Structure 1
């Protein structure tokens, strides 16, 4: 996969791109990630990338020329998914990450000020994404979130591919509780079933705990998930147990 990130602050990416999974992914040649300062593509001597909005209003708007020229400088940009990070975008989800991991080329546009000239959105962008219903100073942090969540899904990036497949949201549910050594800490013990060595019972316990945690913390995910008859019966049992606890 090739990733290009258009930003006014490429230095913001130095730490994250040279750390942890993103660094390892590049070392394994699973992905190449480049940042482009689109100020370099401004058309006047002052390197201006923004201007006052037509019709009046507060703030400044990013001009179309630097963005278009920067994208058009990227080889084969026509085949890329060009992603605008914006509060107006569709909510970003694990499902979208799974979709984007199949692409060979992603280009991210990181906005600032009062946003982008509408012609960028209409004639250049293929996707608009939001990581939440709040406003950031710029699109850089949002782009980092999306890049990290996509790259970790690429083949060979994680040491154990099952780690990505069983993460929260990958199944549409929150992940079950996890434990490790020691078996007992400050009188708090690991559930007996996890020490039993009985794989079927362990899987059943994990499935139940995953559904239980999702019911407690994100019931909206339960409503959106497709369950078979066996799991629907399990949900009814868990609800009765939760009502009894309360």
Structure 2
């Protein structure tokens, strides 16, 4: 059986220092050391051409705040050999890469999306916005998909990118260690999580449900199914 290629994550951001601590720790860090995953944060200001390294500008038509400009993202993706520098279109040979933008009005990111991205692609590139958002042409021309992690606004796209990274990485064989953990966890079958307990059996006067101590696996599975929380 052929060895699976390392799943590579790239982040185009003006704060690469936000990315590194999370992906170097715990499960993701171990997976990187085993070469199951690799992480590469790129400072978007590298692809600017003025002395202030400007990545934003005022929106046409007025409005509060500043928008991320499209050209630095295009040049970064061209440097990564994923987009044509003149047209912005996908370059030949980039079919196994997926460029994802994070935006509050994007499609809600789901467990199914995480599984699909982990199994279908070998490279995930996140375009991390800041300020009041991105020029719409970034979303229309450079991104393959635009996702949101919830109906709220954050100060930047780095946290959504890391949330999606974590969810995607869990679907890469070997990352969790025990594949049964992925098969049994919440949302793997489209349903939510059930309550779980560990020692001690009684804590602050609250007892673990007797059925979980019974050893009757069929009854325990039925209880778990009945108590899933959506």
Q: Place the TM-score, normalised by the shorter chain, in its bin.
A: 0.7 to 0.9
Name the structure 1 match of 2:161.
143
In 2, the alpha carbon distance for the partners of 1:205 and 1:55 equals 57
Q: Identify, as 1 or 2, the structure richer in helix.
A: 1
In 2, the alpha carbon distance for the partners of 1:144 and 1:87 equals 15
In 1, the alpha carbon distance for the partners of 2:126 and 2:219 equals 45
Name the structure 2 match of 1:116.
134
Name the structure 1 match of 2:213.
195
The Cα RMSD (Å) is 1.7
43-52 vs 10-19, which deviates more? Answer: 43-52
- The structure whose Rg is larger is 1
Pair 188,117 (structure 1): closer, same or farther in 2 beyond 3 Å: closer
In 1, the alpha carbon distance for the partners of 2:209 and 2:63 equals 60
Matched, 1:32 2:49: no
Residue 102 of structure 2, aligned match among 85, 104, 128? 85
Name the structure 2 match of 1:205.
223
In 2, the alpha carbon distance for the partners of 1:46 and 1:192 equals 65
Name the structure 2 match of 1:5.
11
| SS, match of residue 101 in structure 1 | helix
Name the structure 1 match of 2:174.
156
The aligned length equals: 212
Equivalent residues of 2:59, 2:66 under 8 A apart: yes
Equivalent residues of 1:194, 1:202 under 8 A apart: yes
| SS, match of residue 18 in structure 2 | helix
> TM-score, normalization: structure 2?
0.86
> TM-score, normalization: structure 1?
0.80
Pair 113,188 (structure 1): closer, same or farther in 2 beyond 3 Å: closer
Matched, 1:100 2:106: no
- Could you list the runs of 5+ residues in structure 2 that have no partner in the other structure? 1-6, 84-93
Equivalent residues of 2:16, 2:43 under 8 A apart: yes
Name the structure 1 match of 2:151.
133
Matched, 1:21 2:27: yes
Structure 1 position 186, deviation (Å): 4.5
Structure 1 position 47, deviation (Å): 1.3
Pair 188,118 (structure 1): closer, same or farther in 2 beyond 3 Å: closer
Structure 1 position 187, deviation (Å): 4.2
Equivalent residues of 1:43, 1:65 under 8 A apart: no
Residue 169 of structure 1, aligned match among 175, 187, 191? 187
